[in-house]
């Protein structure tokens, strides 16, 4: 009985080994991608900080402009939604 169990275990390991190796390789690739993504985000944040320090008025102007645009779009959307409910 022991030899049958051992042979079954060996057969399972032989068939599962390629899948396990592929899985481990994929996990390594994902970890590398996460680390590369983290470095890219850190580089982008550093570059943004540098640009804001070099051009503070442009940065403030962009922030005001984008904030105004988003505020108008949100206000317009909520206003239309409120008018649609009252007309029903």
Q: Which residue has the tokens 């994929």?
A: 26
Domain count, the chain: 2
Mutual angle of helices 2-54 and 56-87, in 10-degree steps:
110
Residue 25 and residue 47 in one domain: yes
Owning domain of residue 61: 56-88
Residue 48 and residue 84 in one domain: no
What is the reported pTM? Answer: 0.56
Residue 50 and residue 62 in one domain: no
**In contact, 52 and 59? CB cutoff 8 Å:** yes
From first to last of its 88 residues, the chain has per-residue pLDDT tens of 568 888 888 888 888 888 889 999 999 999 999 999 999 999 999 999 999 999 999 999 999 999 999 999 999 999 887 766 665 5
């Amino acid at each position: 009985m022991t030899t049958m169990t051992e042979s079954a275990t060996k057969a399972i390991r032989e068939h599962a080994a390629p899948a396990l190796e592929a899985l481990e390789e994929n996990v390594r690739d994902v970890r590398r991608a996460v680390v590369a993504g983290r470095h890219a985000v850190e580089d982008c944040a550093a570059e943004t900080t540098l640009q804001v320090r070099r051009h503070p008025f442009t940065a403030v102007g962009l922030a005001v402009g984008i904030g105004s645009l988003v505020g108008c779009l949100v206000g317009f959307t909520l206003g239309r939604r409120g008018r649609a409910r009252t007309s029903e």
